[in-house]
Chain A
Amino acid sequence: MHLQLAILALKKNTSSGLPVIIVENISKSYSFDPILSDASKLGGKKDKDRIKALEDISFTLCKGEILGVIGNNGSGKSTLLKLISGISKPTSGKIITYGRVASILEIGTGFHPDLSGKDNIFLSGAILGMSNESLKSIYHDIVKFSGLEDFIDLPVKKYSSGMYMRLAFSVVAHVNADIVLLDEVFSVGDANFIRKSEKKIREMLVSNRTIIIASHDLNSISKIASSLMVLKNGTQQYFGGLEEGLNTYIESTIFQTESGEPKEQVLQVENVNKAGVIEDKSKDELTFGNDTEPDVLMEEGQSFQISDTISNIRYISKKKTNLRLASNTFVINSVSILNAVAEHVSNEQKIDLSFNISVLNDNTHQMSLVLSHNLQSAVLTSTPNPQNEASQQLKITGNHQITFSLPCELLNAGVYTIGLYVVDSKGQEVDKAEDLYYFKVVLSEAFRKRWNFRGHFPGPLVSQFKWIVSAKQE
């Protein structure tokens, strides 16, 4: 029960404005063969010849809401955006939108290499639904934003690819519509420009537009979205608050077997000191479904007590056990996290990870632990000092228990995955096991209260370090 409270507390307050996008039970299927698809309508062909791109999607977005749509390739993200924008029609169902819709499914749609930068701004703007008058009024802003004042009359085929992208993005960034649909348009151009564009996007966002962003980049979505939809094989797996959605997505992405069945990290209780606590945590309550409790429960203000008080509970991963590394030198028997409930830990808590590893033969390898945040690249690597006893121990045949402690107040909120890398004596990477285990860090209520902070800290790490402020001597 506490856990559900915790999740509710994380759910952002969604806008309570008027609904501007209403999607009712839309489905979309394509025929494999365009020539035969008329025949299929007449009943000549059966459903098996049709690809179901989306099945029975329903949701409502209110004015000012920002929905992130996430899912693997082929999950139907782009199809959904195409249906809402009107590019393609649903096979069944209904979509109602209020206001002007601009769909940005690609950077530089309609750009023609033979046209000048100026002509392309007007053409691309018109394709995005802007009138010539409004384009004239923002033309100079667009050019200035792109930083291409000197090249604007050259045909864009003379541009470098970076310049091309900058111009294309500048048009998109100035789009003026009530509803904006974005598809994987981040990370174009050089780092400097990306920073500028992200700022611009955020400006665009605060101006009370309703936005749907489809991406598989969790970072860009979690930065701006207020709610999340998870799509998988064309079906809606989740729709709701961002935090819980990210969790659902990450769990369904990393922790599934080849057959697509989700693998669970199974609770095992060892050395239970506080018997009462354990009785409360039946398996049912520890699974995270899509259903959420009514918001009333949030009033209690005790959401984050669990991870602070419970100790000596251990969760052992059943996933990827008996994983063999470095040609049978190491076998990872199990990975577990101590002092946490269902992999949910508070950022104010010390995190102890435990690995049960068998070393099958003497070796000279060195091991490192690698931590990744929200399915992104590694954020932290730790390796024992080679002169250290721990390091020596791992080179000797036998069963070993490695315990690894992460200090409290280091990790930011989010899902962290753990990998083990094996490096040989020459420093070459020999083997690695990624996504061995995951846990979720939440900012504790006490922490939030202390810093009076409800939003997101950016990045994977949050640490206070030492701040010294003194009066400057003139």
Chain B
Amino acid sequence: MQKREITSETPKLAHYLRQVWLFRGLLLNLTRRNLKVKYAQTYLGIVWVLLQPLTGMVIFTLFFSGIFDLSSFGIEVPYYLFAYSGYATWIYAVYVIQSAGTALVQDETLIKKSYFPKLILPLSRTLVGLVDYIISLAVLVVMAGFSGDLKLYWIWTLPLVILITTIVAWSVAFWLAALTIRFRDFVHLIPYLINFGIWLSPVFYPATIIPAHLSFLIYMNPMAAVVELTRWSILGTAFPGFHFIWVILACSGLLLAGLHYFVRVEDEIADYV
């Protein structure tokens, strides 16, 4: 029979993650709920998933292909594909950070009335974002296929690239989720990340806009590498170099520390959320 021991001590991370795995059924059910609820009672339903990156694509194309021409900075694919791919990736990372950061507060009653590893809550939000992201990438593949810009050579790396993007988003998201339990200040930090972060990431402009000897500056932002990796994987743009290794190492470290912190404050979630 399953034995459970509850003390004031914080469980080991590995033990905690095993608990999360045991509750995977709940994770899937919550994800299904979040997906259904997100588009419940909407006329357009799942189309909304696509409207956001498509709108971004249209606006960026109008401005940076029409009014200001960025194509001289070495954009090797049609600008609208460039903008769409960047923006879709950006939206995914932002969604994970934003929804995970507020996930605990949103499901307060669930936290107070039932037992499960609370990491499930930000995780299920991530999965919702992932579903949206995969749909919008599928549309990108279709668009690129029509324009003849789809490069199949590196597309097998796409799942890995998505994983790296997810790790980058998680490395911030779990910290935010855990810190928000006590300090709601961090909820207010999220719009800053989102509104100003896009300017620091090569979403609508190429990283080559910055002189080569200063390019390390832009790659200090982990989003820069993952946005460019996504483009490289689907559209066959120039490989952004091995900055991503640094990104994986740094963000994995941050993620691990974030998880540790999350598990440490998990005991208090039900008391203070």
Residues of A participating in the B interface, judged by any CB pair closer than 8 Å: 20, 30, 34-35, 37-38, 82-101, 103, 105-106, 109-110, 112, 114-115, 119, 122-123, 126-129, 131-132, 155, 178
The CA-CA distance from A338 to B30 in the complex, in Å, is 64
> Quick check: B272 and A96 within 8 Å, CB to CB?
no
> Quick check: A90 and B36 within 8 Å, CB to CB?
no
B8 proximal to A (CB < 8 A): yes
> Quick check: A127 and B26 within 8 Å, CB to CB?
yes
Q: A82-B270, A90-B6 are in contact. Are A110 and B110 (CB under 8 A)?
A: yes
Q: Which residue of A lies closest to B269 (CB)?
A: A88
Q: A98-B1, A126-B25 are in contact. Are A112 and B109 (CB under 8 A)?
A: no
Task: Return the CB mask of B14-32 against A: 1 if under 8 Å, else 0.
Answer: 0000000000011011101
Contacting residues, chain B, for A90 (C-beta < 8 A): 6-8
The CA-CA distance from A232 to B37 in the complex, in Å, is 42
Contact of B115 among A92, A93, A101, A112 (CB under 8 A): A101
> Quick check: A87 and B29 within 8 Å, CB to CB?
no
The CA-CA distance from A86 to B8 in the complex, in Å, is 11
> Quick check: B5 and A96 within 8 Å, CB to CB?
yes
Contacting residues, chain A, for B30 (C-beta < 8 A): 123, 126
The CA-CA distance from A83 to B271 in the complex, in Å, is 11
The CA-CA distance from A112 to B30 in the complex, in Å, is 11
> Quick check: B272 and A131 within 8 Å, CB to CB?
no
> Quick check: B114 and A109 within 8 Å, CB to CB?
yes
> Quick check: A87 and B114 within 8 Å, CB to CB?
yes
> Quick check: A34 and B272 within 8 Å, CB to CB?
yes
> Quick check: B110 and A88 within 8 Å, CB to CB?
no
Smallest CB–CB gap between A19 and chain B, Å? Answer: 12
Q: Which interface residue of B29, B32, B37, B272 has the most chain A CB atoms within 10 A?
A: B29
The CA-CA distance from A20 to B1 in the complex, in Å, is 10
Q: A88-B270, A88-B271 are in contact. Are A126 and B182 (CB under 8 A)?
A: no
Smallest CB–CB gap between A57 and chain B, Å? Answer: 13
The CA-CA distance from A91 to B1 in the complex, in Å, is 26
Q: A30-B271, A115-B33 are in contact. Are A132 and B25 (CB under 8 A)?
A: yes
Contact size range, B: 35 or more
Q: A34-B182, A88-B271, A90-B7 are in contact. Are A98 and B2 (CB under 8 A)?
A: yes
> Quick check: A94 and B37 within 8 Å, CB to CB?
no
Q: List 13 A-B contacts (CB under 8 A).
A: A34-B271, A82-B112, A82-B270, A85-B115, A86-B6, A87-B113, A87-B270, A94-B5, A95-B7, A103-B113, A112-B33, A127-B110, A127-B116
> Quick check: A83 and B182 within 8 Å, CB to CB?
no
Contacting residues, chain B, for A100 (C-beta < 8 A): 2
> Quick check: A119 and B32 within 8 Å, CB to CB?
yes
> Quick check: A87 and B115 within 8 Å, CB to CB?
yes
B3 proximal to A (CB < 8 A): yes
Q: Which residue of A lies closest to B9 (CB)?
A: A89
B4 proximal to A (CB < 8 A): yes
> Quick check: B3 and A98 within 8 Å, CB to CB?
yes
Q: Which interface residue of A83, A89, A100 has the most chain B CB atoms within 10 A?
A: A89
Contacting residues, chain A, for B109 (C-beta < 8 A): 106, 109-110
Contact of A83 among B6, B36, B111 (CB under 8 A): B6
Q: Which residue of A lies closest to B34 (CB)?
A: A112
Contact of B113 among A35, A96, A109, A114 (CB under 8 A): A109
Contacting residues, chain B, for A84 (C-beta < 8 A): 6
Contacting residues, chain A, for B116 (C-beta < 8 A): 127, 129
Smallest CB–CB gap between B178 and chain A, Å? Answer: 13
Contacting residues, chain A, for B153 (C-beta < 8 A): none
Q: A82-B270, A114-B37, A114-B40 are in contact. Are A87 and B112 (CB under 8 A)?
A: yes
The CA-CA distance from A93 to B6 in the complex, in Å, is 8
> Quick check: A109 and B110 within 8 Å, CB to CB?
yes
Smallest CB–CB gap between B28 and chain A, Å? Answer: 8
> Quick check: B37 and A86 within 8 Å, CB to CB?
no
